[in-house]
Structure 1
C-alpha cells in the first residue's frame, strides 16, 4: 500500500500541488464559521438567534453554490476562486463591525456567499488538472490538505477567541487575500464552456434526467444536515457539559488529525470499489457517530464519537466529489459541482436552525434524528447503486 500511495503522490501534476497549497492557507484561516455560534451567544444572542446566524451563512452558501458553478464554467476556475477570496476578506471585516442582529444576518449571508463561491470552481479545476480517472485520489489529497489546515486552524482560533473574537475575523480575511493572490499568480485557468448557444437551465435539465445523481444529491442533503451540527449544536453540547471553548477547538482538530493520518490510506484502498456502497457506508457512520454525541459527556467520550463520524467522512467525502466529476459531462462539470454544493448549502440552511431548535427543547431527539438521517442517506445510496449512472 505504501508503494501505491507513493506512486499516486508522484503522479499528481504541479498545478494540483499549487491548488493544494492555496487551499491550505485559506482553510487554516477559516476561523469565523466554526465559532459563529459561540461568537453570537457570547455577544448576548439566544441559541435560536445563533442558529439563524448559521442559517444565514447557509443561505449565502446556496447563492454561492449556484453562482459559483455558473462562473466556473463561464469565466474560468481561476478567476472565480480569486473573486471569491477577495470578496470573502471584505465581507469578514464588515461582519466583525456589525452590532445589530439584522445587520449581522445580512453580512453573514454575504460572507457565506463570498467565502463559498470558490468551492465548485476549485473542485472542477482539480478534475480538469488530474483527469476523471485520478480524481478519487486527488480529492483524497485535497481533503488531506484541508484537514491538515483544519487540524491547526480551530485550535488556533480557540485560543484567539478566548482573547478577542476580532482576531478571528482579521485572520480569516488575511488568509483569504493570500489565497486570492496565489490563484491569480499561479493557478491555471481551467476549462471554460462555450455557453453562448446554451439554453437557460440546460445543465440542470441534463442532471435531473440522471436518477442516480438525483439520489446522490438527496442522500447528501440528509447527511449534510447532520454534518453541520458540528459548527452549531456540537459546540453547544460541549459547552453544556462544562467544557471550555478550547475543548471544542481540540475536538474539531481531532477530526482533522485523524483524516491527516488515515484518509489517504483509506482512499487508496476504497478507490478499487464501486463508489455508491462506499459512500453509503460512510454516510451511515456519520449519522451513527453524531447520534452517539447525546450519550457523551466527558472529553474522552466526545473524542470517541469524533472517531466514529470521522470514519464516515473519510469513507465518503473523497468518493462523492470524484464520482460527480466522473459522471458530469465536461461542459457542465462546474455546474454539476455547483449542484452538489447546493445540496451541502441546503443542508446547512436546514441543519443548523433545526438542530439548535431541537437542542433547546430535547437534545436527545436531535441526536436520534442524526442517526435516522444517516440511515435514510445510506438507503437512498443503496437504491442509487441499482440505478443508471451515466
Structure 2
C-alpha cells in the first residue's frame, strides 16, 4: 500500500506541489469564519442573526461558484486564483473594521464571493496536471494541504480569539495575499477555452443532458447542509455544554489532524474501489457523526463524534472530486467543478441559516435531521447511474 502511495506521489509534477503549498498557507490562515458565529453572539447579536451573517457568506459563495468555474476555463487557473486571493484579503481587512450588522452582512457576502472564485480553478488545475489514474491521490494530497492548514489554523485562532480578535482578521488577509503571490509566481494557467467556443448557454445545455452528473449533484445537496453545521450549530452546542472557544478550536483542528494522518493511506485503498459505494458510506458516516452530537456533553465525547464524521469526509471527498473530474469534458472541467461548488454554496447558505434557527428552536431535531440527510445522500448516490468516463486527450 505505502509503496504504491510513494509511487503516486513521485509522479506528481512540481506545479502541483506549489498549488498544495499555497493551499496550505491559505487554509492555515482561515481564522475568522470558524469563529464568526461566536464573535457575533459575544458582541450582542442573536444566534439567528449570526447564522444569517454566515449565510450571507454562503450567498457570496453561490454567486461566485459558477463564475469561478467559467473564469478558470476562460482566463486561466492561475489568474483566477490570484484574483480570488487578493480580493478576499481586501474584503477581510474591510470586515475587521465593520461595526453595524448590515455592514458585517454585506462584507461577509463579498468575502464569500471573493474566497470562492479560486476553488473550481484549483480543482481544475489538479485535474489538468495529475495523470488520470493518480487523480484520487492528487485530490487527497490537495485535501491534505487544506486540512493540514485547517488543523493548525483554528487551534491557533481559538487562543487568539480569547485575547484579541483583530489579529484573526489580519492573519487571514495576509495568508490569502501570500497564496495570490504564489499563484502568480509558480502556477500554470492550465487548460483554457478560447474565442467563440466559450458559449456558456451551450455548456449549460450540455450539463443539463448529463444525467450521471446531475444525479451526483442531487446526492451531494443534502450532505452539504450537514457538513456546514461544523461552523454553525456545532460551536453553539460546544458553548451550551460549557466548553470554551479554545475547546471548539481544538475539536475543529482534530478534524484536520485526522485527515492529515489518515486520508492519504485510506485513499490508496479507496481509489481502487467503485466510487459510488465509497461515497455512499462516507455520506452515511457524516450524517451519523453529526447526529451523535446530540448525545455529546463533554470534550471527549465530542471528539468521538468528530472522528465519525471525519471518517465519512475522508471516504467521500477525494473520491467525489475525482469522480466529477472523470465525468467532465476536457474543455469544461472548470465549469463542472464550478457546478459542484454551486451545490456546496447552497449548503453553506442553508446550513448556517436554517441550522442555527432550528438549533435555537429544537436542537435534538436538528441532529436527527442530520442523520436523515446523510441517509438521503447515500441512497441517491448509490442508486444513481453507473459511473462513466469521458476522459479526452488534448
* TM-score using structure 1 length: 0.98
Match of 2:148 in 1: 148
CA RMSD, Structure 1 to Structure 2 (Å): 1.1
Q: Structure 1, residues 79-98: CA drift from partner, whole Å, max 9, x if none? A: 00000000000000001111
Match of 1:189 in 2: 189
| Offset, 1:364 | 0.3
Residue of structure 2 in register with 1:274 after alignment: 274
In structure 2, list runs of 5 or more residues that go unmatched.
Answer: none
In 2, Cα distance between equivalents of 1:200 and 1:266: 38
Q: Could you tell me how far apart the structure 2 residues matched to 1:242 and 1:224 are?
A: 27
Match in the other structure for 1:231: 231
- Equivalent residue number for residue 380 of structure 2: 380
Q: Does 1:350 align with 2:337?
A: no
Give the 3-state SS of the residue equivalent to 1:230 in structure 2: helix
Distance 1:353 1:303 in 2: 25
Contact persistence 1:136–1:322 (CA under 8 A):
yes
Give yes or no for contact 2:287–2:375 (8 Å, CA) kept in 1: yes
Alignment of 1:227-376 (within 5 A): 227-376=227-376
Q: Structure 1: 5+ residue runs without aligned partners?
A: none
Q: 2:386, 2:350 → 1: CA distance?
A: 29
Q: CA deviation at 1:201?
A: 2.1
Distance 1:281 1:252 in 2: 22
Any idea what SS the aligned residue of 2:106 has?
A: helix
Per-residue CA shift, 1:245-269, capped at 9, x if unaligned? Answer: 0000000000011111110011000
Residue 92 of structure 2 corresponds to: 92
Supply the distance in 1 between the matched residues of 2:256 and 2:212 (Cα, whole angstroms): 30
Return 210-219 or 252-261, whichever deviates more: 210-219
CA contact (8 A) 1:203 1:336 kept: no
Aligned to 1:331, the other structure's residue is in SS state helix
Q: Does the Cα contact within 8 Å between 1:73 and 1:331 map onto a contact in 2? A: yes
Does the 8 Å CA contact 2:215/2:385 hold for their aligned counterparts?
A: no
**CA contact under 8 A between 2:74 and 2:198: conserved in structure 1?**
no
Per the alignment, do residues 280 and 330 of structure 1 end up closer, same or farther by CA in structure 2, a change over 3 Å counting? Answer: same
> How many angstroms does 1:198 deviate by?
4.3
Query: CA-to-partner distance for each residue in 1:99-120, whole Å, 9 max, x for gaps?
Result: 1111111100000000111000
CA contact (8 A) 1:213 1:389 kept: no
User: Structure 2: how far apart are the matches of 1:197 and 1:71?
Assistant: 14
Query: What does residue 72 of structure 2 align with?
Result: 72
Q: CA deviation at 1:334?
A: 0.3
**Displacement of 1:307:** 0.5
C-alpha separation in 2, matches of 1:66 and 1:97: 29
Q: CA deviation at 1:385?
A: 4.3
For the 8 Å contact 1:88–1:111, the answer to whether it is kept is yes
Of 371-380 and 206-215, more deviation after overlay is shown by 206-215
Q: Structure 1's 197 and 139: CA in aligned 2 closer, same or farther, altered over 3 A?
A: closer
CA contact (8 A) 2:284 2:378 kept: yes
Q: Distance in 2 between matches of 1:193 and 1:302?
A: 47
In 2, the alpha carbon distance for the partners of 1:203 and 1:28 equals 35
Map Cα deviations across residues 261-297 of structure 1 (whole Å, 9 max, x no partner): 1100110001111111111110110001000001100
Give the alignment of 1:93-108 within 5 angstroms. Answer: 93-108=93-108
2:15 counterpart residue number = 15
Tell me the distance in 1 between the aligned counterparts of 2:78 and 2:18: 12
Structure 2 counterparts to residues 27-66 of structure 1, below 5 A:
27-66=27-66
The answer to whether the 8 A contact 1:229-1:351 is kept is yes
Q: After superposition, give the CA deviation of every residue in 1:19-62 in whole Å (9 maximum; x if it has no partner).
A: 00000100000111111111111121000000101100000001
CA distance in 1, matches of 2:201, 2:351: 27
Aligned residues of 2:327 and 2:388 also touching (Cα < 8 A): no
Contact 1:58/1:348, CA 8 A, preserved across alignment: yes
Partner of 2:166: 166
Give the C-alpha shift of residue 131 in structure 1: 3.3
Q: Does 1:121 align with 2:121?
A: yes
> 1:273-332 CA deviation, whole Å, 9 max, x = no partner?
111111111011000100000110011100000000000000000011111111100111
* Superposition deviation, residue 388 in structure 1: 6.3
User: Partner residue of 2:220?
Assistant: 220
Tell me if structure 2 keeps the 8 A contact 1:5–1:265: yes
Tell me which residue corresponds to 2:26: 26
The question of whether the paired residues in 2 share the 8 Å contact of 1:211 and 1:388 is answered with no
